[in-house]
Amino acid sequence: LAADAGVEVKVLFFEASDETVLKRYADTRRRHPLSQLGLSLPEAIARERELTAPLRREADAVIDTSNLNVHQLRRRIITEFAMDHATGLSLLFESFAYKRGVPAEADFVFDARVLPNPHWDPDLRALSGREPGVRDYLEAQPDVQRYLTQLMDFLDTWLPKLGDGTRSYVTVAFGCTGGKHRSVFLAERMARHAREMGWEDVATYHREQD
């Protein structure tokens, strides 16, 4: 039908590990459509894999979503189907906690643990880097201002170079001890700076909070 209409059709197949699917059903508290047949959830998942196997074999692309957040999934789709020509380079500024590991997808990683830590201020401890109190505290620190100046200069110099190439997206990650204050502040501040510099496709993701 698509061929008769002169439309190019591509099939994208999403999958995930059994462990991930089980967790997603638990988180959403939804019933599996095949559970009405009297199957347990693991049995229903296994049966679903059997039923969808022919579709998987015919798919133009198969993406395992087990370890992808929504931003990473969006990028995979854009890259897989070459949809980046009109949108240009996509920028994601991500925050994370070093105690949970460095994001595998990061292209640039900057360590915010060298900066003053709002955690030690009792009035700021419960807040995040997105809130005015933490922002004001960090922006008042000379080391933070110096860090930002050098960071902006670096990214303003090299991100456009990546945009001139074949890349469709770049992840810039900032890490601190808990992924709550300094890294979040930097991700938000640099995303704002990128928009001010004219980048159109800019997003933030706070791994320990979102």
Question: Based on the domain organization, do 31 and 95 belong to the same domain?
Answer: no
Does 113 lie in the same domain as 18? no
What pLDDT, on a 0 to 100 scale, did the predictor assign at position 2?
53
50 and 97 both lie in a single domain: no
Transcribe the chain into DSSP letters.
Answer: -TTTTT-----EEEE--HHHHHHHHHHHTPPPGGGGGT--HHHHHHHHHHHHHHHHHH-SEEEE-TT--HHHHHHHHHHHTT--TTT--EEEEEEEEGGG---TT-SEEEEGGGS--GGGSTTTTTS-TTSHHHHHHHHT-HHHHHHHHHHHHHHHHHHHHHHTTT--EEEEEEEESSSSSHHHHHHHHHHHHHHHTT-SSEEEEETTT-
Does any domain span residue 193? Answer: yes
Pair (110, 58) in one structural domain: no
Pair 22, 100 in one domain: no
124, 202: one domain: yes
* Judgement on whether residues 30 and 104 belong to the same structural domain of the protein: no
Domain count, the chain: 2
In a domain, 161, yes or no: yes
**Do 105 and 21 share a structural domain?**
no
User: What pLDDT, on a 0 to 100 scale, did the predictor assign at position 204?
Assistant: 94
Q: What is the mean pLDDT of each run of 10 residues along the chain (210 residues)?
A: 68 93 91 92 95 93 86 75 61 95 92 96 94 96 97 93 74 96 97 93 90
Hey, which residues does 176 pair with through a beta bridge? 97
Tell me, yes or no, whether 144 lies in a domain.
yes
- Note whether 140 and 59 are same-domain residues: no
**pLDDT the model gives residue 60:** 86
Give domain status of residue 99, yes or no.
Answer: yes
Residues 172, 136 share a domain: yes
Q: What is the pLDDT of residue 84?
A: 46
- Tell me, yes or no, whether 123 and 193 share the same domain: yes
**Would the pTM of this model clear 0.75, i.e. be above it?**
no
Q: Are residues 170 and 133 in the same domain?
A: yes
Domain that holds residue 128: 90-206
